[in-house]
Amino acid sequence: MAKPKKKEGFLETIKTIIFALILAGIFRTLFFQPFWIPSGSMKDTLLIGDFLFVNKMSYGYSYASCPTVRIAAIGLNIEAEDICGFLRGGNKRILGAEPKRGDVVVFRHPSNGQDYIKRLIALPGEKVQIKNGLVFINGTPVEVIPDGTFDEVKAPQGPFRNMPRCANEVVEQNGICEKEKFVETLPNGVSHSILNFMRQTVDDTPVYHVPVGHYFFLGDNRDNSSDSRISQSRGGVGFVPFENLVGRADRVLLSSAGRSMFAFWTWRGDRFFEGIE
């Protein structure tokens, strides 16, 4: 009589695991998606190693709301479109709500399907241009005021061991890397920090006409961000369709200065539950 009980117990365990995975999948699809910041394109609003949850309820649901599952070690690569591709098309959302200018948004890259996080700068139908590093929206420059410098140690960061780029080059490793810091205020009154460390071609752009149903995004670390200033054909983001939005990033849960989120001894004590502005 013992063997049937063991078999029954094993089946119950399998059922429990499957049920838990289904619940986790539903939770991640409908409510919140974890996001780990891998690059410095949103400094100093978001740092490499910040861990946050993306609020998927903010803008409603589309094919992009389905999770992407990638486990390179076993060759698993399931895209959101593989699961919810039937929802794609028409650039519409279920229970859709328009994002607000200044929101920090996670979205699916229109071409490669990767998750990106940037700040929403211009809305559908607007004109936007960058002149001498300053953003113009519908011909009017946004307000920018100097705010000192953003300082960090020049050392490898995050799992990819990226080295920060500095305005005060040449800086030796473990020296203090500085970037110029400004407060940018958008037309709707949203203020946030932006960084600058060099002159480059995307500091002066043509006028972009944001198509209906699309959005224009920039990284806060303006000289280290692949965003809407660069077309998809040139490796950038271009204009992002409404249906590609995943959700809004509101708060950092924790932040690791090391290679892994699980390296608790590298957690930054001043970033627990930090609000994202």
- As annotated, the active-site residues are 41, 118
The whole-angstrom separation of Cα 5 and Cα 131 is 73
Scan for tokens 């039937």, then name that residue. 86
Q: Kindly list the distances between the CA atom of residue 34 and the CA atoms of 53, 55, 252, in Å, as whole numbers in the listed order.
A: 4, 9, 10
Tokens of 243: 């249906």
- CB-count burial class (<10 Å; 0-12, 13-18, 19+) for 49: buried
Q: Measured between alpha carbons, how far is residue 12 from residues 23, 31, 172 in Å?
A: 16, 28, 59
Distance CA 2, CA 61 (A): 49
Burial label for 33, CB within 10 Å (0-12, 13-18, 19+), is buried
Which ranges in 85-224 belong to alpha helices (H)? none
Total residue count of the chain as it appears in this document: 277
254 contacts: CB under 8 Å, gap ≥ 6: 50, 51, 261, 267, 268, 271, 272
